[in-house]
Structure 1
């Protein structure tokens, strides 16, 4: 148990501390009396906030020495092989855990509410966290985005019994967790470098549900075909483990009530809020407090986040990097700005995803009026096969399919301002910067 080690081990060291999950876990250790240090390749705004909280962070090459006195090492999943610090820690016999292993131990110590799904995890986790905090349940929260309500951080330290956790399926991380309550927002063909096909993704989500503690509960999206098609298996699993199952749908009466309160756009966010609504009801939170939390929720970082204006055009930042996310996010902007043209600037994330979902990417930008596609972002630390499909290939494929659509490949993103200028006056348009890579830096350059 990590909680029992706090009196024995004075220093926890985090390899890959700039990662959204690892950084959140590091703050849990800091809040529980550990000295905390970390290493990563790049300085980020989140790392600067960690330093302000008293966490010692080294930035640079991975050859930096392991801090003296380290009694525990936690590493991100992209740093498993050939990291010198991790190699030294193991050679010295220092207990070393991957991020999912460490979080898995935490889930044993709390009544954990784990939110999984191919899309919508961060928003759903954030709304649940906001709801429990406003209801006085004082949750601990580990989430994959930063929240204004948490002072621009991705962690909340609470004294209550609940841990609200974003449960990622990448590399089967969520199969380490043992939740009391679980949410699945949807299942899609995502992380195919790990799962290869949809059936394998579905099997992994069923295994995740089998990790729910006996007499626990699961909240599942009935509107998602890939999830609802598993209902027979879910029913058998629930009967065997005495788990309560609640299916939710946008056709429910609760969705109609949520529409009157929610302030963030998009049908998918109504669905996310509905999942949170069901969790609140299961925990006995009064409906007025649930709806009040949904109304109070202001959105999170890089989830249709308004960043400023550029030449009169509102500029939004969004994390969407999967075709499904791209399409629904663009539709949400259309809904919010029905009289403006939508300009999408997209940076594909991970060559393997672009290759495996190439057909879906070709139609993902249909709701946008104008689109600029940047070169593929290659996540540091992830091994990828030779690029078989490029951003330029995607651009050409869409242009061939829709020759009249204003869509262009921008080989040099530093020329973004010129490219936007070439599209004509921006005052009647909305710009959305989209992707899971470093496109956020180009957003910063626009709104300075």
Structure 2
């Protein structure tokens, strides 16, 4: 029997690749294309996906049932036009995911921040509770074999519900979590009022009789409580609020392995829904104790040994001195996320929770250097003032040029550029060490200089942004800064 064939345009994306894996698990023939090869496309090829580089109608098979395209691509992309000529069903990522989700009892995780970590934790807690869920998440999860997808045999489908371009309007969840609502994706929604209306519309699409889980600490959600209550009443749904000011928050904070108050809040959301669905508390806490985070979310990448200024003494026969630096990679690209992440590092670097006594105290004294690549010119411009105040917990800051998103960005305005941000931060915080670096080739040298100038024996280097900065992180780890 001939297999049905699905083709993904933009298959290297984190969401698209997870959906491709779902079709593979359903025994479909799967192919795809992307503008450039990546770690994800290489992984997919090993799993059986035929990947082509570049967008061309010749990438399509003659017998094609479905073409799924990334929401970031224009409709005149050659493969999209070619698929229509072949008579294939042409759908967006969110439309395809929404159609699949309707065949399950869907549990959606929405919110401006924290969706990926929360979805991963929810999937793991359901798995620990014996529910064997299917999970699609916008990051890689070690417990899912380093993938962004888990295929299960149970009724539950835990998915990350992204609000960009109204993608979550395609989903009809039975139960849901909304972690927070913030000024995000204003390139699409234009106003914050439209963002709030979008989340209420999403809530109104839920299946009657489910569970609605909300963050009591989020001022925007709490301000919408009257509208939320009206929707819940019409749906005969149960409203469940969680808060960091609850006794359970303190209990979770004591056992949760990943640091940060924002992650305690994410775990609280998962605890609230998982318990409502029947997962035992001990099963939930077993996940919290062992979960070490996900790809590009405060991800520990390795240690670097950086020679101090005394290294010059080597030519005079003096002893070499080195600084140990823990290197982390993080996806934060919004002021709220940056603040939460740097605060978490300031309070408790990732490995500090594994230590006790003096050792833990010493780690808390480490200095933090952040290398930040702004993501999307529109975001930087619309939230410029907020970005200026986002790096207070960083002892040193290196700003790279703005990563402009192909097909969904505005022209770069020099008044709101990365260089302008550096100058604005220096004006407001003159004591902070801030550098704008036009040429990333000098990054190793400048990191070395900045860490050397901080009064601390050890440090933490946080590589931050949603663009391609993670590639620079890989280069740093491979080449070792100490070889400068």
TM over 0.5: yes
Query: Structure 1 residue 247: deviation in Å?
Result: 0.6
- Correspondence for 2:385: 359
- Correspondence for 2:401: 375
- Correspondence for 1:411: 438
Q: How many residues align?
A: 442
Deviations 1:16-48 (A, max 9, x none): 001111100010000011010000012111111
- Correspondence for 1:197: 191
After superposing on structure 2, the runs of 4+ consecutive aligned residues of structure 1 that deviate more than 6 Å are: none
Say if 1:46 and 1:153, in contact at 8 Å, map to a contact too: no
Query: Structure 1 residue 134: deviation in Å?
Result: 1.5
Q: Distance between the aligned counterparts of 1:114 and 1:198, measured in 2?
A: 22
Change in Cα spacing, 1:182 to 1:74, as seen in structure 2 (3 Å) is same
- Correspondence for 2:9: 15
Residue of structure 2 aligned with 1:39, choices 25, 33, 36: 33
Is it true that 1:56 corresponds to 2:41 in the alignment? no
Say if 1:350 and 1:379, in contact at 8 Å, map to a contact too: yes
Q: Secondary structure at the match of 2:19?
A: helix
Q: Distance between the aligned counterparts of 1:143 and 1:295, measured in 2?
A: 21
Q: Distance between the aligned counterparts of 1:221 and 1:280, measured in 2?
A: 15
- Correspondence for 1:326: 338
Q: Distance between the aligned counterparts of 1:29 and 1:61, measured in 2?
A: 21
Instruction: Structure 1: give runs of 5+ residues left out of the alignment.
Output: 1-6
Query: Structure 1 residue 61: deviation in Å?
Result: 4.6
Q: Distance between the aligned counterparts of 1:296 and 1:145, measured in 2?
A: 18
Change in Cα spacing, 1:62 to 1:325, as seen in structure 2 (3 Å) is farther
Is it true that 1:225 corresponds to 2:237 in the alignment? no
What CA RMSD, in Å, does the superposition of the two structures yield over aligned residues? 1.4
Q: Distance between the aligned counterparts of 1:89 and 1:382, measured in 2?
A: 23
Superposed, which structure 2 residues align to 1:102-251 within 5 Å? Answer: 102-251=96-245
Say if 1:41 and 1:62, in contact at 8 Å, map to a contact too: no
Say if 2:211 and 2:273, in contact at 8 Å, map to a contact too: no
Is it true that 1:298 corresponds to 2:292 in the alignment? yes
- Correspondence for 2:326: 314
TM-score scaled by length of structure 2: 0.89
- Correspondence for 1:442: 472
Q: Secondary structure at the match of 2:333?
A: coil
Deviations 1:281-339 (A, max 9, x none): 11111111111111121100000000012222000000000000001100000011420
Say if 1:9 and 1:72, in contact at 8 Å, map to a contact too: no
Is it true that 1:394 corresponds to 2:394 in the alignment? no
Q: Secondary structure at the match of 1:236?
A: helix
Q: Distance between the aligned counterparts of 1:318 and 1:326, measured in 2?
A: 9
Q: Bigger radius of gyration, 1 or 2?
A: 2
TM-score scaled by length of structure 1: 0.96
Q: Distance between the aligned counterparts of 1:46 and 1:118, measured in 2?
A: 24
Deviations 1:158-180 (A, max 9, x none): 00000000000011100110000
Deviations 1:363-420 (A, max 9, x none): 0011100000000001233343443521001111111112221001010112110111
Query: Structure 1 residue 70: deviation in Å?
Result: 1.6
Query: Structure 1 residue 241: deviation in Å?
Result: 1.2
- Correspondence for 2:315: none
Query: Structure 1 residue 256: deviation in Å?
Result: 1.8
